[in-house]
Amino acid sequence: MLRLLLLHALLAAGLPARAQAPEAATAALAEAAGPGAPAQDGRREEARGPASPVVHGIPRQAGSPGPRYTEREAWEPERILSALRDAYPGRIDRVARRSGDWAIRVGGEWYCWANGRLLPESEREEWERYDPVPFYRYPRELPPLARLGGEEKEALEARLKQREEDPPLRHSGFFDALWRIRDRVSSWERVKTIYFLGIKTEIHRDLMEDLAAVEEEIQALLPGDPQLSRYVGSLRTLDGYNWRRIDGTSSLSFHAYGAALDVIPAYYGGKQVYWRWAMKASPEWYSLPYENRFMPPMSFVQAFERHGFVWGGKWLTFDTIHFEYRPEVLLLNGFLPAP
């Protein structure tokens, strides 16, 4: 039972909804990758869905009792909303009880907790139509690999299948308000071109300072960290802003906000970077040893974590080139912001 609960927690933490495929660094890997791999001309395939993990397995049918398995239950709504307020002081100014529910004010507009769905107050009664926004356990160290028994494997397979047939649907209003984005045009208006470690990319203007701080920490470490130096020297592409939406839903990828960054080297060295690709190679992709996954140095990951970014390499459904800005997740997990 404990193991099953753990599986559910891992799933809750780690399932990117219809996740976008990372760019393959080599043609060979691209061929092996199948759907989601970049086209041969190197351009990214369009609209693969969001990069952020999604709480899965929570039925949104009428009469659903709401979240059952997820680690979300470990935190009270007030704690989660307070973490959001602390994480985005320029955008969120209040957390309060309103009309019998917790609510949070973003850019002057109130959003209610609505059983974890974070909805505009006018849509509160519609909560069963949506999946919860994921707030999940994020460990400091690399999490132990999942070792699943027969029953657990079946449960995982069933949930992945269900997820394909009925993709998670999240209300995007809260994050749209947070990032001041209404549509593709307004998203592009919020984006700035930057150079990060000498490579050009586009990110949300609100993250320019955070990324500059990450870069500065990495540069300070380079002289004493040959592994980090080799890794940084191997980097070729940074994919930040990319307008994407989950098919058939209103949920946007964090790349569509310019709040996620794929850090892509010239070669993956035959290693796996992305769970969907790994799944094609092995039915037990989730227990693929870390040495067989493409891994940035932990000093690189930690520099991002200190400035509000989570790394997809710690998700069960791993995406080891993906970083996204979720300071509230880090705060909930006891990470302190950099001074």
- Per CB under 5 A, which region of 51-59, 74-82, 110-118, 212-220 contacts Zn ion? 51-59
Per-residue binding letters, 209-248, with Zn ion (x by CB under 5 A): ----------------------------------------
> Toward Zn ion, which CB reaches closer, 163 or 322?
322
3-state helix, strand, coil in the chain (%, to 5): 40, 15, 40
Task: Provide, rounded to whole angstroms, the least separation between the CB of residue 148 and Zn ion.
Answer: 26
Close Cβ partners of 122 (under 8 Å, ≥ 6 residues apart) = none
307: exposed, middle or buried (Cβ count in 10 Å: 0-12, 13-18, 19+): buried
Contacts of Zn ion in 73-102 (CB under 5 A): none
179 by Cβ neighbours in 10 Å (0-12 / 13-18 / 19+) ranks as buried
Pair of tokens at residue 94? 């209040």
Q: Is 131 in the site for Zn ion (CB under 5 A)?
A: no
As measured in angstroms, the least distance from the Cβ of 19 to Zn ion is 8
Interaction between residue 23 and Zn ion (CB under 5 A): no
For residue 279, the surrounding DSSP H or E stretch is helix 275-281
Number of residues that bind Zn ion (CB under 5 A): 4
Residue found by looking up tokens 């935190």 in the block: 75
Q: Does 12 bind Zn ion (CB under 5 A)?
A: no
List the interface residues with Zn ion, window 249-278 (CB under 5 A): 260, 262
Using the rule CB under 5 A, which residue among 17, 29, 51, 169 binds Zn ion? Answer: 51
Judged by beta carbon, residue 69 or residue 277, the one nearer Zn ion is 277
- Give 109's DSSP letter: E
Query: Which residues within the stretch 312-331 sit at the binding site for Zn ion (CB under 5 A)?
Result: 322
What's the CA angle centered on 253, arms 79 and 204, to 5 degrees?
85
Residue 111 or 243 with smaller CB distance to Zn ion: 243
Interface residues toward Zn ion, by CB under 5 A: 51, 260, 262, 322
